[in-house]
Copies of this chain bind each other. A is one copy, B any other.
Amino acid sequence: MPSRTNDPNRKSWLDVAENSDFPIQNIPFGVFLTKEDVITIGTRIGDYAIDLGALQQLNYFEGIELTDDMFMQDTLNDFISDGKKTWRLVRNRISDIFEINNPKLRDNAEHREIVIFKMEDVEMQLPVLIGDYTDFYSSKEHATNVGKMFRDPENALLPNWLHIPVGYHGRSSTIIPSGIPVHRPMGQTLPNGETSPVFGPSRLVDFELETAFITTDANIMGENIPVNEAEDYIFGMVLLNDWSARDIQKWEYVPLGPFLAKNFASSISPWIVTMDALEPFRCKGPIQEPMPLPYLQQKGKHAFDINLEVYIEPENVAPTLVSKSNFKYMYWSMSQQLAHHTSNGCRVNSGDMMGSGTISGPTQDSFGSMLELTWGGKNPIKMADGTERKFINDNDTVTMKGFCQNSSVRIGFGEVSSKLLPPFVRK
């Protein structure tokens, strides 16, 4: 049970700023590199990174069945593979260690020195080795906006959309953690009115505001995951900027879907926030009409109230908030996505990542991409320095933030932030 860790009255002996995304109720998991070049699995409280490998060596996880080097690894895959029971035991234990009245580590200066780092002194890594990356397309507002712009405004949603959590496979090799800059991609595009394509830098680089969930080993090949069990196989969530090159996408995507328009980079926030931490923010999703087929029918609440924001920050200019959305707008839930994904027996492994698809809300200021926010470039957005953006310019930094907030606690994701560099030039 996550209950004592989720208690909003619990406080830590570590300083936590009032508006921090990382109070003692969060306890996310990540991987970081210290200045001494040590890579370890860790968690975060306030602005402190906590070395779980060191905690384990110092015997703070006594009584929890863990392999000896569980946290002295450069990915969370093995830990995630241990399953929900272990995740909970560890998260609760961490919470207890840092609980304000627990003197064990609090009063042991030597141990604190080994275990606790300032966030500014560590470098966050990709938290998992992602075997397979799937991206869904589960925001009705986004699918409708795209359908209106590129297909038929009267029949914006394709016939399968209300029946299937439509998804496709993405590229694992170019998933990067927040902070790593991305080069504007080169690619083939078809200039307006032409019949022959040209090759050059994409002119329409866009962000896509998404979240993603990380799975544990969910099934054997051939076997499906029932929709009402699916959440048990979800370890946690991150923010995802699914960088997109709209002009490349438009020319390449028929009939097999987006490829080079997407696979040049996908940026994620480095801390995986567990489903247990998100539990207080569970809410009802949109009504699904028509009723999904039985294998997608689920009981209870499976949406989550997660506030999402996107900022664009030109070089040496203050950032501008360009979108405010919420994960609760998603038409298809993560459980439905995972049940659908495995309905044909497709194997899901520990560390696999599944993206939500662009999360657009019902109002124009809640759309999840520049394509939608500027309606294909027709309504540019003004930056703090007075310049306008239809899409993303070279040297702009795109930052996405996500957090849950109720009257007693805030559980946040931190951010995924990356700068768009000019095209790569071979030296």
Contacts and interface: CB of A to CB of B under 8 A. Distances in A.
A299 interface: no
A163 B195 CA distance: 11
Interface stretch (A100-108, A113-121, A253-261, A311-319): A253-261
B352 A183 contact: no
A63 interface: no
Contacts of A395: none
A224 B349 CA distance: 30
A176 B166 CA distance: 25
Contacts of A257: 168, 253, 255-258
Nearest to A146: B255
A171 interface: yes
Contacts of A343: 186-188, 199, 260
Given A131-B131, A172-B131, A344 B263 contact: yes
A169 interface: yes
Interface stretch (A270-278, A290-298, A371-379, A400-408): A290-298
A169 B170 CA distance: 6
A175 B66 CA distance: 30
A138 to B, nearest CB: 12
A178 to B, nearest CB: 15
Interface in A101-141: 131-132, 137
* Copies per complex of this chain: 2
A225 to B, nearest CB: 10
Residue of A222, A258, A294 with most chain B CB atoms under a 10 A cut-off = A222
Question: For this complex, into which size category does the number of interface residues on chain A fall?
Answer: 35 or more
A158 B255 contact: yes
A295 B199 contact: yes
B187 A223 contact: no
A72 to B, nearest CB: 21
Interface string A340-352: 1101111111001
A173 interface: yes
A285 interface: no
A159 B194 CA distance: 11
B255 A256 contact: no
A264 interface: yes
Contacts of A294: 199
Contact of A187 (B167, B173, B174, B344): B344
17 contacts: A131-B131, A158-B254, A160-B251, A163-B188, A168-B168, A168-B169, A168-B257, A174-B221, A187-B344, A199-B343, A224-B424, A224-B426, A253-B255, A260-B341, A260-B346, A263-B344, A264-B344
